[in-house]
């Protein structure tokens, strides 16, 4: 060290602490140089003079070794700083002159630490344990500096954006949003006010008043889409408007393709209105509101048409009540429909319909909307008039009975009655005559009837109830006309007679004076004579009169005394009450004093009670948890925890609904994926000119329709009135038979396992995909996953037993069960696992643009030749076509091959590491089937070695399950690919090479023969196989499903809800057919339960009978859609009652029922032991409390959905009294004692212990249910994301096809005549045609779901718009305004050019394109 520090040596950067390292390194360098010099001397002329520095180190060599030692020491220090994760120390070590690193900044020391640790871990994953070198450190520093710079720029940009938003300057906000440093999506300056307004609102809503970068990214992306919609509306670009409306980026919901034109029309109107109000842009909420309003309007129009058809059908049937029901349908929107007028509606509308048929001379004529509404209003008016008329007649009768002349006259003059000839001067005569007439009617007696019948205007009979004062157009049952009520005709006859007599009386007015005098004299004589006779009589009877008066006065005095005495006796209770009130006041005063004392000390009392109760509750719960034999008193206090709360039922319902949605999404995604694959094929054929563009367009429309409409029709079976779920005994028995059959198939895997191998492989694959996974609801809960694994195990054992003769056939063949297992676990459930395992490494390879793995010598040779020719610009003299052996003779090819092998090993190590550490991420079902496969093969081939068995396990877990996802990650949703995007050729080749390496490693297969040039990595393959071998062994170490899921064959006896499956009608029929065809093979025993179930079902029904539809044409294409209609089946076991052959299940059932009854009893009746409770009679109060609780339970059960209701026996036990339940408990205990399940000597303490255990396990069950809910929600989210991706694919295909159509249109021979008139306003009037007329002309071919006899009720109005060449077509059905369709003349010419003969208007009316063009030319262009 002293010599090295000599100034003459001119050595720099010496470190005293590194002296030993300097010594060792320089000594080794000198020895190497000396040895090299001697070797050269021996080979050359030994006598030649040699230079001294051939053996001694020069100053430069010494300085170089010193620098090398310094560098290694500095690298070691950096490595130690990384291990300590000390950012400050790391920066100091990186600043060492020995390293000479550039661009170091102290403020970025944390970024250096993070980046270099990541680089070090990445290097360790590649299998290298070396420390980071200088170049790697410099690279890490540069990357960290760039990352820190980008991050700080982004934060500053976000701060400036938030400041601009608060400032309120729209232009400044947009300028900041467009700053690349902000890392935001595309921003459009023309919509600056929109961004400012919406972002300001979001900023105000944020709790911090600050928008982060992710929040800005999402908001800007949606606002940009809204801005483009506004721009397209301004320019009138309909295609662009629809493109962004239907884009998932915009985030609009319920956008229907068939309503696109109406959306756009409404948006244009709203845009114009908004602009008039001073708002330049529509907001997202405005657009969503338009979409929702249009959807509602379209739905109401369709419902109204259906309602009109139902009204006319009801009128034809003649049922007034049915007519009333359809008139009151909300869809019909008919006003003022009243239920009591139903019969008159029927009569009036039937008459109107008959008159219309006579006027039009068309017996099939139907009433339209305005005609029906007019008939309703007319019927209501006539009803009101009839009621007033009847009330008026009744008022006349009542007035006559009351004897009030004025009231009678007023009633007679009422305009509602319509009487004529009423004269006020004859009021008393009217009264007298009408009374006399009523008396004459009473001669025959009063029949006490409350009904009268009136003949009213229009020729109808109106029946009126004189007691309720309500009328009806229908004749009441047992109608009898009231015999005391005057009718209008009788009243009018009486009035006419009286008035005629009065008129005659007026003729005598001239002689009135003489008549009066004569009458006066006669009356005077008679009165005087009568008075004289009366006076004479009284004088003779004076003594008798006095006696009578004295008797009467005595009677009155006695009666007054008796009344007073009786009064006092009657009020004895009041006297007693006065006395009791006095006593009560004294007792109440004493009670209030004591109560006030308690109120003054309420806090102390509450604390004492709370303390005592808390201690008691804690002690009791500890006893329940820890005691081996918890007392009855303790168990009784906590037995209420076994109740199912509202939250429990809600969670069960949510679980059921979510499971249904997951199953529906899985089936929908599978269907959509198949259609997309077919679309890929069709577009490929189009490119190769194998099919026409129109076939691709047709499939695209079908695909879009499936995506938008078909899924909404799922589960519609449950809403139909007819079909399998109709309310009839026959349909109910059929439904229950299918539910019993599918329960047996689900719980007994033997049948399906045998059925799979009875069919050809192509049919069995389709059967598995469509029925088996549906039967088990795609294993959406633990019970169904357990049952599905049982099926897989049974089927796999059956296949190995009957199909496999040699152990290698599992690998070389395509076993049905293996294929089924892999398909299921690579679906929605296992897809997330594959994504977690492989996505990071796959993405890393795809992101590495420099990675280019080529292992074929010929490909490497050709790439090398092409590169030389590109660089020199001259043709290479080397041959282009060579063999692999010839290519390997070139050193450049070998060098490139070695580099590719090195890269391939590095990447393979990453994949291998990701796989072997992901054991717990692999679905349990895959691991369990791997275990079953290994055990089954070992049982059949006991001589097979462990390595042979593990290779077959590896073939399942890696080659069949993981390998396809590595080769094609885009096809298995391992990575996210945008619509239209795809992997490059280099990326696919890199992934294929890695997959090939892993495949060889998993199978322990070496490179030889044609791939002998790769033999240098055979040793690496052997090492990798050992890692795989340990991985496969660990994968097979899994528990049995019974232990994993805590499920066994008795679990269905204690579940709250019944199992439900969602299966299509076609799948039901297909399964039924297969079972009938192969029932002898799958169940050779004649007493097998499946034979009884198949006999219950009988022959295979048709699709129409299960759906409740009429018999249709077997070749009808709509029949395929009907077969896909789904129905839910609640599975039940027909063989619930256990027999002698299954006494174990019988004992379990009795035990469960007994425990349930004990819980009900001990809740209401206390006791120290179960025996004491059973022997003690229940009190009336306890029975009452029990009855009330059972009533509450019944009410709750009534609200419980059918799929969650308990078994029938449980419901029957609810209705038992306490005494009956105790009797049943004692009976069951005797049976259980005989079976040895309980011990009466310990007073049945074992049962109490089981109940305590159930209480403790209740919480565990709720936790498992919550975990299942979370798992299903994650699956639902993943399926929704996949559905969104498929929708983006559909949009991409639609855009591609639109481009093709536009390109074709630009080449077509399209007439320019309509375009010549552009700019001129149409002056032609609208043309109106009935559908029948257009049908006669041949323009209209048919209308979906409408018979040709109804064409006369459909009107089409064709109107030219201001834009020449565009026509507005309006449709009316029975007077109801339907949709509006914009018809473009250029589009018709395009279709004609393409040879399309038929098109659809309104998505339902088929028209002839050529004749429609002819009609437009004739009516609007004069051609």
pLDDT in tens, 1033-1061: 999 998 888 877 766 554 554 455 677 88
Tokens at residue 290, please? 């338009």
Q: Cα dist. 406→429, 494, 1291 in Å? A: 12, 17, 85
Residue bearing tokens 């009797």: 1223
| Predicted confidence (pLDDT) at residue 1111 exceeds the cutoff of 50 | no
By the 8 A CB rule, do 318 and 354 touch? no
- Name the more confident of 1114 and 1131: 1131
**pLDDT in the model for residue 930:** 92
669-672 long-range CB contacts below 8 Å, 24 or more apart? Answer: 669/828, 669/1279, 669/1282, 669/1283, 669/1286, 670/769, 671/706, 671/710, 672/703, 672/706, 672/707, 672/1283, 672/1286
What tokens does 1422 get? 């004069």
Is the pLDDT at 1255 greater than 50? The verdict is: yes
Q: What distance in Å separates the CA atoms of residue 1381 and residue 596, rounded to the nearest whole number?
A: 83
- Cα 731 → chain centroid: 28
Q: Residue 1142: enclosing H or E segment and its boundaries? A: none
CA-CA distance, 1129 to 1109, in Å (whole number)? 19
- According to the model, what pLDDT value does residue 1113 have? 52
Q: CA 80, CA 97: separation in Å to the nearest integer?
A: 18
Give the residue among 339, 376, 354 at the shortest CA–CA distance from 474: 339
In whole angstroms, what is the distance from residue 1084 CA to residue 1097 CA? 19
Q: What is the pLDDT of residue 1162?
A: 81
Copy the structure tokens of residue 616.
């008691």
Q: What is the pLDDT, as a whole number, of residue 727? A: 44
Does position 814 have pLDDT exceeding 50, yes or no? Answer: yes
Residues 6+ apart with CB under 8 A from 1083: 751, 1090, 1091
pLDDT of residue 202: 85
- What pLDDT sits at residue 629? 83
Question: What's the pLDDT score for residue 691?
Answer: 42
pLDDT band at 677 (very low <50, low <70, confident <90, very high): low
pLDDT greater at residue 829 or residue 490: 490
Tally of helices (H runs) and strands (E runs) in the chain: 56, 12
- The angle, 0 to 180 degrees and rounded to 10, between the axes of the packed helices 238-245 and 213-235 is 150
Q: Which residue has the higher pLDDT, 1241 or 996?
A: 996
Region 989-1007 average pLDDT: 88
Buried b (16+ CB within 10 A) or exposed e, 372-383: bbebbebbbebb
Please determine, for residue 1276, whether its predicted confidence score (pLDDT) is greater than 80: no
Dihedral class, residue 57 (left if φ above 0, else alpha if ψ from -120 to 50, else beta): beta
Over the chain, what is the mean pLDDT?
79
Q: pLDDT tier at 931 (50, 70, 90 boundaries)?
A: very high
Task: Give helix 782-803 / helix 749-756 axis angle, nearest 10°.
Answer: 40
- DSSP state at residue 1346: B
> d(Cα 332, Cα 1375) in Å, to the nearest integer?
12
| Region 873-892 average pLDDT | 80
Could you tell me the sign of the dihedral formed by the alpha carbons of 994, 996, 999, 1003, in that order? negative
Residue 464, helix vs strand vs coil: strand
Beta strands at 1060-1064 and 470-472: parallel, antiparallel or unpaired: unpaired
- Given this model, what pLDDT does residue 66 score? 83
Please determine, for residue 684, whether its predicted confidence score (pLDDT) is greater than 70.
no
Average pLDDT over residues 176-189: 87
By CB neighbour count within 10 A (0-12 exposed, 13-18 middle, 19+ buried), where does 181 fall?
A: middle
| CA 719/CA 81 separation, integer angstroms | 70
Comparing CA positions, the residue from 1024, 796, 1010 lying closest to residue 908 is 1024
Is the pLDDT confidence value at 1317 over 70? Answer: no
Please spell the DSSP secondary structure of 294-314, one letter per residue.
HHHHHHHHHHHHHHHHHHHHH
Query: Which residues, listed in sequence order, are joined to residue 1405 by a DSSP beta bridge?
Result: 1343, 1401
DSSP 3-state of 837: helix
| Dihedral of alpha carbons 1304, 1309, 1313, 1314, sign | negative
Q: Would the pLDDT of 368 be above 60?
A: yes
Distance (Å, rounded) from C-alpha 752 to C-alpha 743?
Answer: 12
DSSP per position, 159-209 = HHHHHHHHHT-HHHHHHHHT-GGG------GGGHHHHHHHHHHHHHHSTTS
Give me the mean pLDDT over the 1337-1359 stretch: 83
pLDDT of amino acid 613: 85
Question: Within 10 Å of residue 1354's Cβ, how many Cβ atoms?
Answer: 21
Reported confidence tier of residue 130, pLDDT bands at 50, 70, 90: confident
Helix ranges (H only) for 444-541 are 488-506, 512-540
Distance CA 1330, CA 1334 (A): 7
Q: Residues 382-391: what's their mean pLDDT?
A: 84
Confidence check: pLDDT of 674 > 70 = no
Which pTM value belongs to this model? 0.42
The pLDDT confidence band at residue 21, using thresholds 50, 70 and 90, is: confident
Higher pLDDT, 1147 or 807: 807
pLDDT on residue 830: 60
Does the pLDDT of residue 383 top 70, yes or no? yes
| pLDDT score recorded for residue 710 | 42
User: What does the pLDDT average to over 245-249?
Assistant: 84
By the 8 A CB rule, do 1358 and 1398 touch?
no
Average pLDDT, stretch 399-406? 85
* Interval 525-574: pLDDT, tens: 999 988 988 888 888 888 888 888 888 888 888 988 888 888 878 888 88
Q: Which two tokens stand for residue 45?
A: 């002329």
Which pLDDT score is estimated for 859?
84
CB 190 within 8 A of CB 231: yes
Segment 943-965 mean pLDDT: 88
Compute the Cα dihedral for 1073, 1078, 1083, 1084 and give only its sign. Answer: positive
Distance CA 674, CA 680 (A): 10
How big is the CA angle at 521 (ends 519 and 526), to the nearest 5 degrees? 95
Which structure tokens are listed for 34?
Answer: 């000396």
């Amino acid at each position: 060290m002293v010599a090295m520090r000599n100034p003459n040596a001119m050595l720099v950067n010496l470190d005293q602490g590194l002296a030993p390292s300097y010594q060792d390194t320089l000594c080794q360098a000198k020895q190497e140089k000396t040895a090299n010099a001697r070797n050269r001397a021996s080979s050359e002329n030994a006598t030649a003079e040699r230079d001294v520095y051939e053996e001694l180190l020069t100053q430069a060599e010494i300085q170089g070794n010193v620098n090398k030692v310094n560098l290694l020491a500095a690298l070691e220090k950096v490595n130690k700083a990384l291990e300590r994760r000390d950012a400050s120390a790391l920066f100091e070590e990186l600043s060492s002159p020995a390293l000479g690193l550039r661009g170091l900044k102290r403020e970025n020391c944390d970024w250096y630490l993070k980046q270099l640790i990541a680089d070090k871990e990445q290097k360790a994953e590649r299998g290298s344990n070396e420390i980071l070198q200088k170049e790697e450190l410099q690279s890490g520093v540069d990357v960290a500096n760039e990352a820190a710079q980008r991050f700080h720029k982004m934060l500053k940009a976000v701060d400036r954006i938030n400041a601009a938003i608060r400032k309120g300057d729209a232009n400044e906000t947009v300028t900041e949003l467009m700053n690349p440093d902000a890392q935001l999506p595309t921003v459009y300056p023309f919509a600056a006010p929109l961004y400012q307004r919406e972002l300001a609102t979001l900023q105000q809503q944020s709790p911090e008043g600050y928008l982060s970068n992710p929040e800005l990214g999402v908001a800007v992306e949606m606002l940009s889409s809204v801005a483009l919609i506004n721009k397209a509306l301004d320019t009138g670009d309909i295609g662009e408007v629809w493109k962004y409306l239907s884009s998932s980026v915009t985030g609009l919901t319920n956008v229907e393709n068939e309503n696109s034109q109406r959306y756009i029309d409404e948006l244009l109107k709203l845009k114009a209105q908004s602009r008039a109000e001073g708002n330049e842009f529509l907001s997202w909420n405005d657009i969503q509101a338009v979409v929702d309003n249009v959807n509602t309007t379209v739905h109401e129009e369709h419902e109204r048409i259906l309602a009109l058809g139902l009204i006319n059908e009801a009128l034809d049937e003649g049922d007034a009540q049915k007519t009333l029901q359809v008139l009151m349908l909300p869809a019909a929107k008919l006003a003022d429909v009243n239920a009591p007028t139903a019969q008159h509606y029927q009569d009036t509308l039937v008459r109107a319909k008959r008159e219309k048929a006579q006027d039009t001379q068309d017996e099939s004529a139907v009433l339209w909307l305005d005609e029906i509404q007019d008939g309703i209003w007319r019927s209501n008016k006539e009803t009101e008039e009839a009621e007033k008329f009847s009330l008026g007649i009744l008022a006349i009768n009542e007035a006559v009975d009351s004897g009030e002349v004025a009231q009678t006259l007023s009633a007679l003059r009422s305009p509602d009655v319509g009487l004529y000839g009423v004269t006020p001067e004859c009021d008393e005569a009217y009264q007298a005559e009408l009374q006399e007439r009523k008396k004459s009617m009473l001669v025959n007696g009063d029949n006490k009837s409350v009904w009268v019948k009136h003949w009213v205007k229009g020729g109808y009979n109106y029946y009126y109830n004189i007691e309720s004062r309500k009328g009806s157009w229908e004749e009441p049952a047992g109608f009898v006309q009231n015999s005391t009520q005057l009718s209008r005709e009788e009243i009018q006859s009486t009035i006419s007679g009286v008035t005629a007599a009065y008129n005659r009386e007026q003729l005598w007015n001239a002689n009135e004076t003489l008549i009066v005098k004569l009458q006066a004299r006669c009356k005077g004589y008679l009165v005087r004579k009568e008075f004289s006779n009366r006076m004479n009589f009284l004088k003779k009877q004076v003594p008798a009169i006095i006696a009578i008066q004295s008797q009467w006065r005595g009677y009155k005095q006695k009666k007054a005394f008796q009344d007073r005495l009786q009064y006092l006796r009657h009020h004895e209770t009041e006297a007693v009450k006065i006395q009791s009130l006095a006593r009560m006041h004294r007792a109440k005063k004493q009670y209030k004093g004591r109560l006030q004392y308690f109120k003054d000390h309420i806090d102390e009392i509450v604390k004492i009670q709370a303390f005592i109760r808390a201690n008691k509750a804690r002690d009791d719960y500890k006893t329940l948890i820890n005691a081996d034999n918890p007392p009855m008193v303790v168990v009784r206090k906590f037995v209420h925890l076994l109740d199912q709360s509202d939250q429990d039922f809600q969670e069960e319902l949510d679980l059921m609904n979510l499971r249904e949605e997951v199953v529906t999404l899985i089936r929908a995604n599978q269907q959509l994926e198949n259609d997309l694959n077919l679309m890929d094929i069709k577009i490929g054929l189009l490119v190769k000119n194998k099919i026409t563009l129109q076939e691709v367009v047709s499939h695209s429309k079908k695909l879009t329709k499936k995506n938008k409409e078909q899924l909404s029709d799922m589960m519609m079976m449950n809403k139909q009135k007819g079909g399998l779920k109709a309310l009839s005994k026959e349909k109910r028995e059929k439904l229950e038979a299918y539910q019993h059959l599918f329960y047996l198939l689900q719980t007994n895997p033997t049948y399906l396992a045998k059925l799979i191998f009875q069919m050809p492989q192509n049919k069995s694959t389709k059967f598995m995909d469509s029925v088996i996974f549906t039967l088990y609801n795609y294993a959406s809960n633990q019970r169904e996953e357990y049952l599905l694994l049982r099926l897989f195990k049974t089927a796999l054992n059956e296949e190995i037993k009957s199909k496999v003769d040699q152990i290698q056939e599992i690998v070389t063949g395509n076993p049905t069960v293996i294929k089924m297992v892999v398909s299921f676990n690579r679906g929605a459930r296992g897809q997330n696992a594959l994504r977690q395992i492989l996505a990071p490494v796959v993405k890393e390879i795809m992101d590495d643009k420099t990675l280019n793995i080529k292992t074929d010598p010929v490909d490497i040779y050709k790439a090398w030749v092409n590169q030389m020719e590109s660089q020199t610009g001259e043709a290479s003299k080397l041959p282009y076509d060579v063999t692999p052996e010839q290519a390997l003779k070139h050193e450049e090819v070998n060098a490139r091959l070695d580099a590719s092998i090195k890269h391939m090993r590095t990447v393979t190590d990453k994949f291998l590491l990701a796989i072997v550490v992901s054991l717990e991420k692999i679905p349990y079902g895959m691991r369990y089937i791997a275990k079953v496969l290994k055990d089954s093969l070992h049982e059949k081939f006991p001589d097979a070695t462990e390595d042979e068995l593990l290779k077959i396990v590896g073939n399942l877990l890696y080659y069949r399950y993981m390998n396809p996802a590595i080769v094609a990650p885009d096809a298995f949703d391992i990575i996210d690919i945008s619509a239209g995007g795809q992997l490059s050729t280099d990326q696919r080749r890199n992934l294929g090479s890695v997959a090939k390496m892993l495949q060889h490693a998993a199978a322990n297969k070496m490179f030889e023969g044609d791939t002998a040039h790769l033999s240098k990595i055979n040793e690496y393959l052997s090492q990798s196989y050992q890692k795989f071998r340990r991985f496969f062994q660990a994968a097979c170490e899994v528990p049995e499903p019974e232990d994993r899921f805590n499920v066994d064959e008795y679990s269905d006896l204690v579940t709250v809800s019944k199992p439900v499956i969602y299966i299509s009608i076609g799948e039901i029929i297909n399964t039924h057919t297969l079972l009938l065809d192969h029932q002898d093979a799958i169940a050779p025993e004649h007493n097998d339960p499946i034979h009884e179930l198949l006999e219950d079902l009988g022959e295979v029904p048709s699709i129409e009978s299960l759906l409740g539809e009429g018999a249709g044409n077997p070749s009808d294409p709509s029949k395929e859609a009907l077969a896909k209609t789904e129905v839910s089946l609640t599975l039940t076991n027909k063989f619930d009652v256990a027999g002698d052959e299954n006494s174990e299940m019988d004992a379990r059932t009795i035990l469960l029922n007994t425990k349930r009854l004990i819980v009900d009893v001990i809740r209401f009746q206390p006791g120290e032991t179960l025996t004491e409770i059973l022997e003690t009679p229940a009190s009336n109060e306890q029975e009452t409390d029990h009855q009330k609780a059972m009533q509450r339970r019944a009410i709750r059960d009534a609200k419980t959905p059918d799929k969650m209701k308990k078994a029938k026996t449980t419901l029957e036990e609810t209705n038992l009294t306490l005494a009956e339940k105790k009797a049943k408990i004692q009976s069951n205990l005797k049976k259980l004692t005989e079976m040895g399940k309980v011990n009466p000597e310990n007073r049945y303490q074992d049962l109490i212990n089981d109940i305590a255990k159930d209480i403790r396990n209740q919480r565990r069950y709720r936790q498992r249910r919550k975990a299942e809910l979370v798992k299903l929600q994650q699956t639902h989210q993943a399926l929704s994301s996949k559905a969104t991706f498929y929708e983006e694919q559909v949009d991409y295909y639609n855009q591609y096809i639109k481009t093709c159509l536009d390109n074709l249109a630009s080449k077509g021979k399209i007439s320019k005549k309509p375009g010549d008139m552009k700019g001129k306003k149409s002056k032609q009037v609208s043309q109106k045609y009935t559908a029948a007329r257009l049908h006669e002309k041949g323009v209209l071919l048919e209308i979906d779901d409408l018979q040709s006899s109804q064409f006369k009720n459909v009107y089409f109005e064709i109107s030219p718009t201001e834009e020449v060449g565009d026509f507005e077509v309006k449709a009316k059905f029975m007077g109801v305004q339907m949709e509006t369709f914009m018809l473009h003349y250029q589009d018709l010419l395009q279709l004609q050019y393409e040879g399309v003969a038929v098109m659809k208007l309104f998505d339902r009316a088929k028209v002839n394109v050529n004749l429609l063009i002819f009609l437009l030319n004739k009516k609007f262009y004069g051609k």
